[in-house]
Structure 1
Amino acid sequence: MEFLQELSDELRDLLTANSSEDARLVQKGLMLYRQGLVTQLQVAETAITAVVQDVMPAKVMLDPEFFGLSECSCPSDGLCRHQMAVFFAAYAGTYSVSDWLTEWREPARETKSAAVWGLQKAKDLVKANGILKPDYQRWVDSFETSFAALLGAKKHMNPFVVSELFGIYRRRLQASSPVEQEWKLLYELVAVVVSFRMLAELSERMDHGVEAVRRSYGHLFEAMVDEADDLVDRIGMQTLPFDFDEFVAGLKDDAFGLLTVVKGLEQPRIALYRVLWSGLFRKTSWREAELERVRERMKSVQEDENPLPLVVASIHLCVLLGEDEHALDLIDLVDDELIVPFIVYWIEFLSIMKAWKRAGRWIDVFLQKLKGYLDSAGIGGGFHGRTGFMRTVLRVITPYVTENRRADVYERTLLNGLPYSYAEYEYMLFDRGMYDRWGELQAFVGMEFQDLPKDRVKIVEKEQPEVLLGMLHQAVQREIDQKNRSSYRMAVRHLKKLRTLYKKLKRVDDWEYFLEGLLERTKRLRAFHEECTRGKLIG
């Protein structure tokens, strides 16, 4: 049964053998299953159901296709021991539960043994290298030797082991760091760039898939980008050594290598490259030479090569050089779903520089592409991811809006970002007393009248009650269309509110005309009319 295997894989992703909490959950589920407490088991591709005879019987439904929709009658939130017990019971009908447990626990065992081996290896390397004096190539050679000894020794490596061994490798590098502060910071930055490159190469060499990297050690790449950003800031605050040029040349070469070192990991590779060229390599001549170098490399892009890092690097260098025309021409070569998040960064960069005119132009381009980006099926994260993206966008454009008094730009962004910008747009409209627009927004997103905040409804009813009329008319019709007794009762509640508003607006004739027409249209809905009578809408 393929669906059982898929469910098995999903549970392996959700549960980590290194986590004591997850280990206890699996153990408790296993005990319930082995004690024969799973009864009434029904296994089907659409749902797996059973009752677990625990302290209190628990009814369980597992959804093999969307495990997040699985249910258990126990009070636990999320995955519980009863669901694990039912999984084991269903899995045992076709596969071996013992084999599942062995495979699930393997990363934890391998990580532990690798850590012991790695620590011993690191001690040997520290003894061999000692403290390294300032020499760019010697630093790089040392990093590569240590990395090869700790992470490159095996032909195959479980992705869960990488994080542990990489941590040991980085701690070993710190033991050989120069004592002088100015050289120490530079050493750490070179270590980040070179280590990033080697970890990316290892990932590709070991054929670790995108999901495996994300779950196991994707955080290492993000951490290194953040570390580089901090180091670049700290280096910029101090006087650089006289013989710094040798290190700049080496770092520039290694930074360029990030653009093509592997086929995947585009986002973190671009982010690290951007950090280095924004904060460390500030000379115009350096940036002009790098732009030419990137352009030349773009001419030889292979058919199976992803050109995105090179294109984004070109755009970024153009932005740094103030060549917005060339940058915007390049943007049109990239799909919106790929380029839009980078535009947010450039808007923020220009805002920090207070280059408001340039920032305004980039915001215009961004807003033209925003709706298409949000509607694209290719971007991940679902509704919550898009909502988070919109919060970032609003934070980034706020300095421009405030400085240039462009509230229209803020509102245009909110409009283009709907429905993901609903919360911010709703707040803005209400705060400004734009109650008619506020009502239109609720209708646009399909907000149910009864779900609106009661304090807001009271204010609108007092200030601009006609706004609520259309919303209540729609709410009444939706409830009637459901054709059941409880929805009829809700419809009557809305109708009574409508009657109050029509009286407040001194439009009693309109109310009576509407009610008469409604009762005529629904004359076959006897239950609805009974509820109207019970609610004293009709005699």
Structure 2
Amino acid sequence: MALSIASLAREQTLFIKTQLDQIEHALHPSVTEDEELVRRALFAVRNKSVIFDRYIPSTTNLYAAVQDVRPTQVLINFRDEIVHCDCPHGEWCRHKVSVILSLYQYIDSVQDWTAKWRSKKSVNLHLLATERTPESWLAMVDEVMSHLLPEGRPIEKFQISTVAENADSKLKRHLPFEREWQPLYELFMQISILNKIWQHLNLFGNTIHSDYFEYFFNRRFEKIQNTIHELSVKSRLFATDPFFDALQVLVRELLLERKAHIGRRLNVYLLFWDNVFIEKSRAEEELEILQNYLMQEENPLSSEVLLPTILNIFHILLKNYEALKLNVASITPEQMNIYFGLAKFSHSRHDDEASEYMLKAMLPLLNDYIQHHLTPSQRQMYVRRIHALYENVSLTEPEELLLYSAFGVYGVAPFSGYLLKQKRYEEWVALHQLYPSSISYLDSCGLKVVLEEAPSLTLPLYHYYALEEVNQKSRMNYKQAVRIWKMMKSAAKKSGKTNFWEDYIHTVREQFKRLRALQEELEKGNLLV
């Protein structure tokens, strides 16, 4: 049966045009390598180097060969929308592009498509890279991102990471040769791409609130952290000062002018001011700029940005504790997450005084914040992290009780540790009776310490958990109950209550005499002796 490529191409018009759209977004005419790739693909089409071997209708597989330096096989599956090439190159190689263009020529003009694609070239990235100024680097990012993020067109949430990786790969081709410049270039491009994507997403819907964005941001933040670490061990050249000035502006824009995830934007801002912008004069300059925003009646700031709170960063950096005290006096539950980040920032800088001011100001609001501003799934992790900060602060006894009462059920483990330090073993037992859990959790909370210091106090706990196992009415649970009773027997012996134990275990045997499997396990456990 003869293969009619013209008929097949017309039948698969939508697929072919979709693939061409993807090629347009993946390949940029301003990138020398991309332009060369398309040029060679066009050469293959014009020289009839693309040969369609066979088409299998039942599987919708089209097999093609491209006569290149070596023969290359390309497979198109129309049903699953897959284009596969056996060459080792990236997502779009010249072979795939040449096959798609060969099909497109039966639908429309390849020459018109090529002219339209090349018309998007406004600058030469290679020439911009050789200029090495912040303005040229920003122009490179603008050129690449304008192609990947078309104006007025939203991107699908699952494409966010792909867009960023595509931009990374195109811009990384122009990485400076000198090692001293490489981390700075990478950091500049990473934060610029993040800023551009965030700005684009703010224009459309709720994409920025998706799990895809969370995944993208976490990976991007990790990359930025690693690059900053690499940059921090390099000596800074005088010629790089303008680039740090530009970075300062980019980071400020991300915090103040973008929308959504204020905590994540603040994390980026704090990361830079903790590790990159280390000069006192730069901190004083930034503080003055932010204070000027406060005096403006109209400014471009996002409505979720509370400038007085952000100013605390620079009160910490410049050790202006009086201004810091004044600001934390008016803290609200809605600001708690930001102040939590500021307290971590202070602790990372070994500024215990600033950290203590903020953490003590947060104490009266903790209960309200945990119970009404955090989802149940967030509370356990939040309590664990905030407690790690409070451990570095000297609290009075009333303040400690206020802290642990705010934690509630989510703070059983840290409160247990506090009670053990105070040797308040009865209260430790009462806490675990109030919030029952499991024997293994008791062990993690210090049961062995109580067993060593006050073994008689543990007897009610062992009794409770053993009966919980018995109530499950299965042999496996009976075995676990016997294990717990063995612990209880040891605790009773250690506290000199052997007679109590004998009376207790005989009472248990009598109470559950109808449970034959339990009686057998009690015999095996030698608990009745």
TM-score by shorter chain over 0.5: yes
Aligned to 1:175: 173
Aligned to 1:360: 356
SS at match of 2:195: helix
Look at both structures and tell me which one has the larger radius of gyration over its CA atoms: 2
Q: Which amino acid aligns with 2:319?
A: G
Aligned to 2:307: 310
Aligned to 1:389: 382
8 Å contact 1:132–1:139 — kept in the other structure?
no
Post-superposition shift, 1:507?
9.1
8 Å contact 1:301–1:307 — kept in the other structure?
no
- State the identity %: 16
Does 2:374 match 1:379? yes
1:306-332 deviations in whole A, cap 9, x for unaligned? Answer: 243534421212211112332343345
Of the three residues 321, 324, 343, the one matched with 1:324 is 321
Does 2:183 match 1:185? yes
Looking at structure 1, the residues matched to 456 and 311 of structure 2 have their Cα atoms a distance apart, in angstroms, of: 54
Of the three residues 203, 223, 226, the one matched with 1:227 is 223
SS at match of 1:446: coil
Structure 1 segments unaligned to the other structure (5+ residues):
1-104, 515-526
Classify 1:374/1:126 alpha carbon distance in 2 versus 1 (closer, same or farther; 3 Å).
Answer: same
Post-superposition shift, 1:374?
1.6
8 Å contact 1:197–1:261 — kept in the other structure?
no
Q: Which amino acid aligns with 1:439?
A: V
Post-superposition shift, 1:161?
1.9
Does 2:234 match 1:244? no
Bigger drift between 443-452 and 165-174 goes to 443-452
Classify 1:223/1:327 alpha carbon distance in 2 versus 1 (closer, same or farther; 3 Å).
Answer: farther
Aligned to 2:55: none
Classify 1:306/1:286 alpha carbon distance in 2 versus 1 (closer, same or farther; 3 Å).
Answer: same
TM-score of the superposition, structure 2-length normalised? 0.60
1:212-238 deviations in whole A, cap 9, x for unaligned? Answer: 3x33x3333333333333333433433
Of the three residues 273, 278, 282, the one matched with 2:278 is 282
Aligned to 1:417: 407
Q: Which amino acid aligns with 2:374?
A: I
Post-superposition shift, 1:136?
0.7
Looking at structure 2, the residues matched to 468 and 153 of structure 1 have their Cα atoms a distance apart, in angstroms, of: 68
TM-score of the superposition, structure 1-length normalised? 0.59
Instruction: Trace 1:109-188 onto structure 2 (pairs within 5 A).
Output: 116=92, 128-129=125-126, 131-152=129-150, 155-188=153-186
Looking at structure 2, the residues matched to 318 and 346 of structure 1 have their Cα atoms a distance apart, in angstroms, of: 11
Aligned to 1:291: 287
SS at match of 2:217: helix
SS at match of 1:421: helix
Aligned to 2:194: 196
Does 2:439 match 1:444? no
8 Å contact 1:152–1:202 — kept in the other structure?
no
Looking at structure 1, the residues matched to 408 and 249 of structure 2 have their Cα atoms a distance apart, in angstroms, of: 43
8 Å contact 1:315–1:330 — kept in the other structure?
yes
Looking at structure 2, the residues matched to 455 and 316 of structure 1 have their Cα atoms a distance apart, in angstroms, of: 36
Of the three residues 234, 255, 261, the one matched with 1:259 is 255
Post-superposition shift, 1:301?
6.1
Classify 1:352/1:155 alpha carbon distance in 2 versus 1 (closer, same or farther; 3 Å).
Answer: closer
Aligned to 1:87: none
Classify 1:410/1:236 alpha carbon distance in 2 versus 1 (closer, same or farther; 3 Å).
Answer: farther
Post-superposition shift, 1:246?
2.4
Post-superposition shift, 1:461?
6.0
Looking at structure 2, the residues matched to 436 and 182 of structure 1 have their Cα atoms a distance apart, in angstroms, of: 62
Instruction: Trace 1:513-528 onto structure 2 (pairs within 5 A).
Output: none
Aligned length: 412
1:488-524 deviations in whole A, cap 9, x for unaligned? Answer: x99x99999999999997899999xx9xxxxxxxxxx
Instruction: Trace 1:390-405 onto structure 2 (pairs within 5 A).
Output: 390-398=383-391, 400=392
Bigger drift between 125-134 and 278-287 goes to 125-134
Instruction: Trace 1:66-85 onto structure 2 (pairs within 5 A).
Output: none
Looking at structure 1, the residues matched to 301 and 354 of structure 2 have their Cα atoms a distance apart, in angstroms, of: 35
Looking at structure 2, the residues matched to 454 and 135 of structure 1 have their Cα atoms a distance apart, in angstroms, of: 56
Bigger drift between 134-143 and 258-267 goes to 258-267
SS at match of 1:423: helix
Classify 1:509/1:287 alpha carbon distance in 2 versus 1 (closer, same or farther; 3 Å).
Answer: same
8 Å contact 1:430–1:438 — kept in the other structure?
yes
Looking at structure 1, the residues matched to 444 and 216 of structure 2 have their Cα atoms a distance apart, in angstroms, of: 46
Q: CA RMSD in A?
A: 5.3
8 Å contact 2:332–2:365 — kept in the other structure?
no
Post-superposition shift, 1:244?
3.0
Q: Which amino acid aligns with 1:320?
A: L
8 Å contact 2:160–2:216 — kept in the other structure?
no
Post-superposition shift, 1:280?
2.4
Classify 1:275/1:439 alpha carbon distance in 2 versus 1 (closer, same or farther; 3 Å).
Answer: same
